[in-house]
Amino acid sequence: MADPKILIVGGGGREHALAWKIARDSSRPAVFCAPGNAGTAQVAGNVPIQASDPDGLVAWARENRPDLTVIGPEAPLCAGLSDRLEAEGLRVFGPGRDGARLEGSKAFAKEIMASAGVPSARAARFTRAEEAMAYVRRQPGRLVVKADGLAAGKGVTVCDTAAEAAAAVEEALIRRAFGEAGLEVLVEERLEGEEVSVLALTDGKQIELLASAQDHKRVGDGDTGPNTGGMGAYSPAPILDEKQWRTVRSEVFERTLSELTRRGIVYRGVLYAGLMLTADGPKVLEFNCRFGDPETQAILPRWEGDILPALLACAEGNLERVRLAWTPEACVCVVMAAGGYPGRYDADLPISGLEEASALEGVVVFHAGTRLTGGRVMTAGGRVLGVTARGANLREARDRAYGAVERIRFDRAQFRRDIGARGLQR
């Protein structure tokens, strides 16, 4: 396909990384990003339609007929944007509403895993608080309480004590802290181990694993403080050895895909497994129906060759023709966030040093929460930038990424100083 037209839905760091990679494709695509940010504007045309406006997106797509639409965030996928675009006769990368339930309903994901024999934490589902409390009291070990639906990353409570688990049940089922998303909860055994993200492309039949990555979810160094959307990532994650990798492929991805197929669900897009590497082997903590953020920022710079043939093959159902290749180099993405994030933070602060940082060897600065105001790049979100660098090894990639972080300034910027440290310890 020559000069294809590509629409990317979303406006965060993941979407900038996708736009950056797609724009470099040898087919010379025209890339559009809705709504995008100040970073996507450098490589794509920003379309002023929010990812939460399916009518607007469908209307744009009907008029502009993109050759492929890549949907970044989970909310539009769970709301059925993919189905609506396909109904217009358009190619879409991203599962339909049925497949997106793997992320949109943790109860559904558990049901699939149980039927398919995918290793994951033991869990029970409840809609009634008394029953959930009684169950909590009967459990010997530590627990995790999860709202069933999408709760903007806040629906999971990892508990040290039964009292904390009971309080989390009360928050969801009695106080309705998560609204509709928390009308059902899962009470799970708490797994111990190190976490790793494995993402796979699939056309519903074939599976191609992407390079591994490790996210850093807590706001503070040494995994302290509250959970965030992700404060940094690196790839590859050396914690996964060859044997575990094969186990994950067969016991997680192949089993899940067969079970979806058995139920008549054709899953096209990325399936993301958040794994805990326990003493009993890898177990699934969660599925996401989309690229991870910020894992994508650390993975895509390692992708060798064009990305579009693979994304198109997923949409068209012929992924068997595609083989992925990765540079042996490592990649590190350090998120620079607004002061106060993940709590309250200020926006509209001017950012300086972006050009200087981007000129450093191996560095690319992905924008997340930024916007252009009168030609200046301003902060516009909690996670502001994903400062990313490649290097011959993890240490070099990390040194380069932090070297770039040092050149960038905005008021009250915060970032973790230990991204990739666990990988280096190995």
Residues 6+ apart with CB under 8 A from 49: 34, 35, 56, 57, 60
Residue 230, binding choice from ligand AMP, ligand GLY, none, Cβ under 5 to 8 Å by partner class: ligand GLY
* 3-class state of residue 362 by DSSP: coil
113 or 363, CB closer to ligand AMP? 113
Binds ligand GLY (CB under 6 A): choice among 100, 295, 308, 385? 295
Q: Interacting stretch for ligand AMP, rule CB under 6 A, among 73-81, 187-195, 245-253, 367-375?
A: 187-195
Q: Which of residues 133-162 bind ligand AMP (CB under 6 A)?
A: 144, 146, 156, 158
**CB-based closest residue to ligand AMP:** 286
Q: Which of residues 186-215 bind ligand GLY (CB under 6 A)?
A: 215
CB 48 within 8 A of CB 60: no
CA distance 313 to 309: 6
Q: Which helix (H) or strand (E) holds 367?
A: strand 363-367
Q: Label residue 399 exposed, middle or buried (CB < 10 Å: 0-12, 13-18, 19+).
A: middle
Residue 409, binding choice from ligand AMP, ligand GLY, none, Cβ under 5 to 8 Å by partner class: none
Backbone angles phi, psi at 30, to 5 degrees: -95, 115
Strands 376-379 and 214-215: unpaired
Q: Which of residues 73-112 bind ligand GLY (CB under 6 A)?
A: none
Binds ligand GLY (CB under 6 A): choice among 72, 119, 204, 292? 292
395 is written with which tokens? 């240490």
Length of the chain: 426
Q: Interacting stretch for ligand GLY, rule CB under 6 A, among 4-12, 238-246, 289-297, 384-392?
A: 289-297
Q: Interacting stretch for ligand GLY, rule CB under 6 A, among 5-13, 252-260, 286-294, 319-327?
A: 286-294
Pick from 47, 17, 2, 1: which is nearest to 270 by CA? 17
Work out how close the CB of 12 gets to ligand GLY at its nearest, in angstroms, rounded to a whole number.
Answer: 10
Binding site for ligand GLY (CB under 6 A): 215, 230, 288, 292-293, 295
